[in-house]
Each structure stands twice: as C-alpha cells, then as structure tokens.
Amino acid sequence: MNKPPENIEAINQAAFEHCIFPLAEMDAVRRDGPHIWVGGQGVELTDNNGRTFLDMMSSHTRANSLGYGNEEIPRAIYDQLVKLHYVGTVDNFVEPAVALAETIAGLAPGRLSNLMFVSGGSEAVETALKLAKQYQIDKGGKPRAYKVISRWNAYHGSTMGALSVTDWLGTRHVSEPGVPGTSLIPGPTRYRNPFGMEDEPYADFCAAYLEQQIIHEGPENVAAFIAEPIMQAHGVQIPPPNYFPKIREICDRHGVLLIIDEVITGFGRTGAWFASEHFGVEGDIMTMAKAMTAGYFPMGAAITRKEIIETIPMFRHVHTFSGHGGGVAAATTNIAICQRDGVIANARDNGRYFLDALQSALAGSPIVGDVRGLGMWLAIEFTADKATRQHFADDTVKAVVQRMKDMGVLSSAIGNAMEMAPPLITTRDQLDRAAEVTAEAVRDIA
Ligand code: PLP
C-alpha cells in the first residue's frame, strides 16, 4: 500500500499540461513540482515520491478533521448512494437529510434551527448573504438593504458574493468591483494591529467602528455584518472576550443581521462544536462546511432562526446538489463518530496540550512573538524585532514551514504567522513530535 507509482515524471508533466492550480504561486510550483498524494492513514499522508508526512494541517484546507483512512464514513456514503443517491432540491429531501438538519440544529448555538444544505463553504456564504438580504426586504422597513459590512483580511470564499466580503489573499482585486455595497472595517487581531493598541482596547475600537460604519452607510441600507468567529488571516486571530458581545449589541440596535462564518471553525476545530460557543455569541445566520463531513464529501450549510426563515414566503435561492445523499451520510456519520469517540473533547484537551508544548519549546526564541491557539487550531506569530513587533518582510515564515516539511511535518505559512490545524484525533505522541520539529525548524531559521 502507498507504494510510489513508477511514472512520477509523467504524472507531474500531465498535471502541468491539464490542471489549473488554484491560488498556487506558479513560479514555485514550476520549480518544486506539484504535490501529488497517493495515500493517507491516520494523520499521515504519503506522496508519490514515497515520502510520508505528519499532516498537521488536516489537508491543505483544514477539512480532514478525522485524518485519513476512516472506513465508516465511506461505507455510509456507499450505502446511501446505493439506496438513494439524490433527488433534488426545493421541497425534496433524501430521508436522512431531515434527521441531519435536526441533529445540527441541536448542536448549533441558541435558536439556530433551520438549515439549507449546499455543496461547500462559498455556497454557504452566498446562501447566508442572500438570506439576510431577502429577510430585510420581506420583513419590510429596509426595502433597499443591499449593503453588507465585512472586515479587513476576512476570508469568506471565492464565488462572487462571498468574494465581495473577502479581503484576504488578494482574490478580491481581480474581480473588482464584485457585488456592490460591501465595505470593510478593522477586526480584532492579536499581538499587533495598525494602531499599536493593546488587544482589548483595540477590540472595543473595532466594535465601535462597526457602529460608525453602519451609521455612515445608513442603517436602512445595511442587511448584515459578516465575521469569522476566529479569523484565519495572519494566524488564528482569537478575539478578546469583549468583542462579540459588543458586536451582537450593535447589530441588534440597528436591525443588522449578524452572520457568523464557521466554515473553517465548525465541527470541532476549536474544541467545541462551533467556535461561537467560546465567545457566547449567537449569529442570526451561521455557515458551516469543511469538517462537516470530515472532508469525505463536499458539503456545507447555512442555518438560521425560525423567525427569519418564516418571514420569507419563498427563498429565492437554490443549488442543484443541496442535500446530496453522499454528503448527508458523511455528515451524519462524522457527527456520530465525534459523539461516540469524544473527538471534540480530544480536540479541546490535546489542543491545550499542544499549545503548552509549543509555548515552552519556543520560549526565548528571538523570532517568535506569540504562540496562540484554541483547540486544534494554533499559530506562531513571527517577528523580526520583539521590541517593535515588526513582521518579517522576507520569506522567513515560509522558510520555517519548508524546514518543517523537510523534517516530515506539514504546516502552513499564513502571512506573518505559521499555522497548524492537526486532525482532531491526533495523539499526544504525534503532537510531541510536531512540537519538537517546530522548535528545531525555528532554531535553524532564526
Ligand atoms: N468561509 C471561511 C471562513 C473559509 O475559511 C472558507 C474557506 O477556506 C470559505 C468560507 C470558503 O469555503 P469553500 O472553499 O468551501 O468554498
């Protein structure tokens, strides 16, 4: 098993001939070759050179929350596809889709109760945005509410609506002007921000900024504010506890719906079913995808309150593969495994263990400014100067990630930070190994 194929060169060549590499830096891909993976087991991935890596990213997309080689989920998908693979949307559901919606409503914060299945994160965000706009129109009082406020460095996806509330990765600029009516405001960041403020006062300032932006745009024009509970850009930006309560209050005061985008955080990543739980915040609409199926089937969803969906006589939005039987079976089985095996508690406890291990292994490093994390989502923020917290202008972070890869551990460079998002099932021995390799790579590059 996992033996490297003999025709690596031909496969690499064919990849260049026939594939598009989304968001890849093509000079680097041409230099280093594409990554072709041939097998995975537990938290290990094997490439077509026969090299095996400890995958501390749950795949490049952070979706593979149960790692690799799970047999229960594929079996459940197979059984459902053979029984009834798909029937369509509107008022048609494969039977287990209804039970899954009920289960997720039970896991979601507070009053979030009614859910629309889609095929991924961007579609979930599109659904949330349209739901917010249509609610404002159908409810009356805000018939022209086409504006949505988002945040600097947000990532909400690549389809045109989701892209329009996205700032991170430069994906937005090639599609300007996107969907009109979006504005961006600052969001809380840890360790450094453009105004040199401490974390909590800066979070207060960011919340106050939202209110001013709503007033500036005209509250009657603003449908929604969208935020990731923990922003990914520049590494796991956990907001201070004062942020979301203020955001909730401000949205309520102005009749602006709060969309919480849990696409990357949902289904256990932070040691809770949803990251909103850590901050005591309930969105009016919440999105999810990625780890919903542990990466075994493309699926997402947007969930909202009963009052919101009941205000809308006909939701004018549809995707062909909403509630596909394969995704329904995968998500249902993933949730059952997480409940049976204590996966979320493992993510919480082992995540804390990993954070402690990284913090002590990196203490005193001249280039590490901050080590932070929640559950199995961690980041190391680098600095060229601890006094000024200046970030590196060069490729230092990428060099650390490459050094770790050379030593057999996969991590990711994300702006000024290095990120790790291990599968939720990762053991303490595996986390010890990842912490050792991280410390060695940081020492080598410093
Ligand atoms: N929202 C968030 C917070 C994400 O992290 C992502 C993807 O990384 C998306 C939305 C888009 O999801 P997808 O790539 O499945 O369309």
pLDDT at 321: 93
pLDDT at 3: 57
- Nearest ligand 1 atom to alpha carbon 265: 3
Q: Which of 286, 290, 292 to mutate to test the pocket of ligand 1 (most atoms within 8 A of CB)?
A: 290
121: Cβ–Cβ under 8 A, 6 or more apart, which residues? 156, 157, 162, 263, 264, 287, 289, 290, 300
- Per-residue pLDDT, averaged over 176-190, amounts to 92
Distance 137 CA to ligand 1 centre (A): 27
pLDDT at 1: 47
Q: Is 90 exposed, middle or buried (0-12, 13-18, 19+ CB in 10 A)?
A: exposed
- Nearest ligand 1 atom to alpha carbon 262: 3
- Nearest ligand 1 atom to alpha carbon 62: 8
Q: Residue 177: pLDDT band by 50, 70, 90 thresholds?
A: confident
Q: What is the pLDDT of residues 65-123, one digit of tens each?
A: 999 999 999 999 999 999 999 998 889 999 999 999 999 999 999 999 999 999 999 99
**228 within 8 A of 165, measured Cβ to Cβ:** no
What does pLDDT average to over the chain? 95
By C-alpha distance, which of 247, 237, 168 is closest to 214?
247
ipTM reported for the complex, 2 dp: 0.99
Ligand 1: residue whose CA is nearest its atom 7: 157
- Nearest ligand 1 atom to alpha carbon 264: 5
Distance 158 CA to ligand 1 centre (A): 8
Q: Which of 57, 155, 265 to mutate to test the pocket of ligand 1 (most atoms within 8 A of CB)?
A: 155
Whether the per-residue pLDDT at 176 is higher than 60: the answer is yes
Quote the radius of gyration of the chain (alpha carbons, Å). 22
Distance 408 CA to ligand 1 centre (A): 27
Ligand 1: residue whose CA is nearest its atom 13: 121
Chain centroid to Cα 291, Å, comes to 9
- Nearest ligand 1 atom to alpha carbon 157: 11
Residues 288, 305: Cα–Cα separation, whole Å = 15
Distance 298 CA to ligand 1 centre (A): 12
Whether the per-residue pLDDT at 246 is higher than 90: the answer is yes
In a 3-state reduction of DSSP, which class is residue 69? coil
By C-alpha distance, which of 328, 327, 339 is closest to 267?
339
Q: Is 263 in the pocket of ligand 1 (CB under 6 A)?
A: yes
Ligand 1: residue whose CA is nearest its atom 12: 121
pLDDT at 231: 97
- Nearest ligand 1 atom to alpha carbon 228: 3
Distance 157 CA to ligand 1 centre (A): 5
Whether the per-residue pLDDT at 5 is higher than 70: the answer is no
Q: Is 157 in the pocket of ligand 1 (CB under 6 A)?
A: yes
Q: Residue 4: pLDDT band by 50, 70, 90 thresholds?
A: low
Q: Is 423 in the pocket of ligand 1 (CB under 6 A)?
A: no
Q: Is 121 in the pocket of ligand 1 (CB under 6 A)?
A: yes
Q: Residue 170: pLDDT band by 50, 70, 90 thresholds?
A: confident
Residues pairing with 184 in the sheet: 150
**416 within 8 A of 372, measured Cβ to Cβ:** no
Residues 289, 274: Cα–Cα separation, whole Å = 12
Q: Residue 316: pLDDT band by 50, 70, 90 thresholds?
A: very high
Residues 383, 380: Cα–Cα separation, whole Å = 10
Residues 235, 191: Cα–Cα separation, whole Å = 11
In a 3-state reduction of DSSP, which class is residue 409? strand
Residues 355, 262: Cα–Cα separation, whole Å = 22
> Locate tokens 């006909």: which residue?
314
- Per-residue pLDDT, averaged over 252-270, amounts to 98
Q: Which of 153, 156, 285 to mutate to test the pocket of ligand 1 (most atoms within 8 A of CB)?
A: 156
DSSP, residue by residue, 75-114: HHHHHHHHHH----STT---HHHHHHHHHHHHHSSTTEEE
Whether the per-residue pLDDT at 322 is higher than 60: the answer is yes
73: Cβ–Cβ under 8 A, 6 or more apart, which residues? 66, 293, 294, 296, 329, 330, 333, 334, 337
Distance 156 CA to ligand 1 centre (A): 5
Q: Which domains does the chain have, with CATH numbers?
A: 8-64+343-445 (3.90.1150.10), 73-341 (3.40.640.10)
Whether the per-residue pLDDT at 288 is higher than 50: the answer is yes
Residues pairing with 285 in the sheet: 259, 304
| Pairing mode, strands 368-374 and 44-47 | unpaired
Q: Which residue type sits at 432? A: D
Least confident range from 126-135, 140-149, 171-180: namely 171-180
DSSP, residue by residue, 233-257: TTS-BPPPTTHHHHHHHHHHHTTPE
Q: Is 298 in the pocket of ligand 1 (CB under 6 A)?
A: no
